A and B are shown apart, each in its own frame.
Chain A
């Protein structure tokens, strides 16, 4: 059976060049970068290389603006809590309704337990934030605006430059969770004008359990993890060197791959989207048709349930994910699709297919054929008919 991994937004396969680096820093260069001896000093220099590699990928002004963390989630937590609790006393946060839970649940905690006020900006039918709504929401006590670079479920790319320009003008800090955008889009923190940016290694063919926060020089941010003062006091804890070195290597490879990588994925993605929409009646694309991540296709099929689709795809060797409640074991369908105004039924029949480095045109064609057959099979015994609930 053919095996097709189309869940690269969940995580990616670590590149062989990265594995080599990670192993070397476990086996041979195992020193603690804080140590004064040569074992430590070598690793301390390497750490600086990794910082440089990440800085170059996003065009940071200097490597010192990169802080390694234990995950993308931790970098998001640090960005938000580190600013809100920095002593300036500003307690208002502006974010969007479609952020990753790493942002949303952090904001909810600050709201419930730390006396913060949070504005969750709505999105349009494509999942896009209106920059004008950011301007309107900014108040005297706004500490931070945090809007994701691109959405992990529907792939919609946000108008980050416009939003960042408004923040600059108003003197408000701007953070962007670019976990899904980094590696696929040509991100330039200086041209984009953001003050902070989150990235995560395991979405760009690096190891799991390591991320980074870009913090523009001069931004006043407070640590959320205290201890030995590593990462210039912002993130204590002995540096996870093998993973960090892996992230550095993955960042370098990502930079060298762009922009051809994005162009290649976009072609494959459009072949997949067009193929599915043509082959399967009563299917529709979720998210923006062009302002979307090169790797992301998210399609709803009426009258069938996402978890059943995923299960059947899995039995055919295809790995995908879904915004359905039953697939996540939760009670409500995806908060992203809901915020976009997608009906509950349409949200339940959504499938996210995310492409990667190893995806071939044959994989795409196999997926189109298989998914079309699976939808047809499940619709045959759906009490909603093929058109869906709104039509019966």
Chain B
């Protein structure tokens, strides 16, 4: 059902956990299936220095969280905001159609984390 890239990220997810001294954190849940994704980021010089994720969800959700963290590390805030759900799914080499909604959480959680960071900056 899943391709090798997805299976690799599922069995060896990169950057799991929660950054203790995070500059921003975002948590979103899927209204469709109840999967939950949490992303924490560390920002320096307007760049994402470090990122970690946690997931309560299926294989697709876990692999998406893992892939997202790889895609976003070192990116500027502007670049990170341009990452879309579709880009995560594409980087994973595609996902089965009924599983796409599960992968949609990763980018959203990241964008929430960035919003949180920006709110703290301005606050």
B-binding residues in A (CB < 8 A):
303-308, 311-312, 315, 324-327, 329, 331, 333, 344-345, 348, 378, 380-384
Majority secondary structure, A binding face: helix
What is the chain A residue whose CB lies nearest that of B37? A383
A344 shortest CB reach to chain B, Å: 6
Supposing A305-B56, A311-B2, A381-B16 touch, asked if A329 and B10 sit within 8 A by C-beta, the answer is no
Contact of A324 with B58 in the complex, beta carbons under 8 Å: yes
A322 shortest CB reach to chain B, Å: 10
Q: B88 interface residue, CB < 8 Å from A? A: no
What is the chain B residue whose CB lies nearest that of A324? B58
User: B4-40 CB contact bits vs A (8 Å, 1 = yes)?
Assistant: 0001001101001100000000010000111111100
Task: Point out the residue from A306, A311, A326 that lies within 8 Å of B102, measured CB to CB.
Answer: A326
A389 shortest CB reach to chain B, Å: 8
Contacts of B60 in A (CB 8 A): 326
Contact of B59 with A325 in the complex, beta carbons under 8 Å: no
Task: Point out the residue from B11, B38, B56, B58 that lies within 8 Å of A315, measured CB to CB.
Answer: B11
> Of B33, B36, B99, which is in contact with the most chain A CB atoms at under 10 Å from its CB?
B33
Contact of B32 with A381 in the complex, beta carbons under 8 Å: no
Q: What is the bound-complex CA distance between A329 and B59, given in angstroms?
A: 12
Contact of A384 with B36 in the complex, beta carbons under 8 Å: yes
Contacts of A381 in B (CB 8 A): 13, 16-17, 53-55, 62
Contacts of B62 in A (CB 8 A): 308, 378, 381
User: B32-75 CB contact bits vs A (8 Å, 1 = yes)?
Assistant: 11111110000000000000011111111110000000000000
Contact of A308 with B10 in the complex, beta carbons under 8 Å: yes
Q: What is the bound-complex CA distance between A325 and B31, given in angstroms?
A: 12
Supposing A315-B11, A381-B17 touch, asked if A326 and B55 sit within 8 A by C-beta, the answer is no
Contacts of A331 in B (CB 8 A): 32-33
Contacts of B38 in A (CB 8 A): 383
Task: Point out the residue from A324, A345, A348, A383 that lies within 8 Å of B55, measured CB to CB.
Answer: A383
Q: What is the bound-complex CA distance between A16 and B7, given in angstroms?
A: 35
Write 5 A-B pairs (CB below 8 A) sorted by A numbering. Answer: A306-B58, A311-B10, A315-B11, A327-B58, A383-B27
Contacts of A304 in B (CB 8 A): 56
B25 shortest CB reach to chain A, Å: 10
Contact of A383 with B56 in the complex, beta carbons under 8 Å: yes
Of all A-B residue pairs in the complex, the 3 with the closest CB atoms, nearest first, are A329-B98, A307-B58, A326-B58
Task: Point out the residue from B7, B34, B56, B99 that lies within 8 Å of A382, measured CB to CB.
Answer: B56
Supposing A325-B33, A329-B99 touch, asked if A305 and B58 sit within 8 A by C-beta, the answer is yes
What is the chain A residue whose CB lies nearest that of B38? A383
Contacts of A327 in B (CB 8 A): 58
Q: What is the bound-complex CA distance between A289 and B53, given in angstroms?
A: 38
Contacts of A383 in B (CB 8 A): 27, 36-38, 54-56
Contacts of B57 in A (CB 8 A): 305, 308, 326
Contact of A326 with B35 in the complex, beta carbons under 8 Å: yes
Contact of A303 with B56 in the complex, beta carbons under 8 Å: yes
What is the chain B residue whose CB lies nearest that of A378? B62
Contact of A382 with B55 in the complex, beta carbons under 8 Å: yes
A38 shortest CB reach to chain B, Å: 50
Q: What is the bound-complex CA distance between A381 and B58, given in angstroms?
A: 13
Contact of B33 with A326 in the complex, beta carbons under 8 Å: yes
Contacts of B102 in A (CB 8 A): 326
Contact of B16 with A315 in the complex, beta carbons under 8 Å: no
Q: What is the bound-complex CA distance between A327 and B59, given in angstroms?
A: 9
Task: Point out the residue from A311, A380, A382 that lies within 8 Å of B59, measured CB to CB.
Answer: A311
Supposing A381-B16, A382-B54 touch, asked if A344 and B34 sit within 8 A by C-beta, the answer is yes
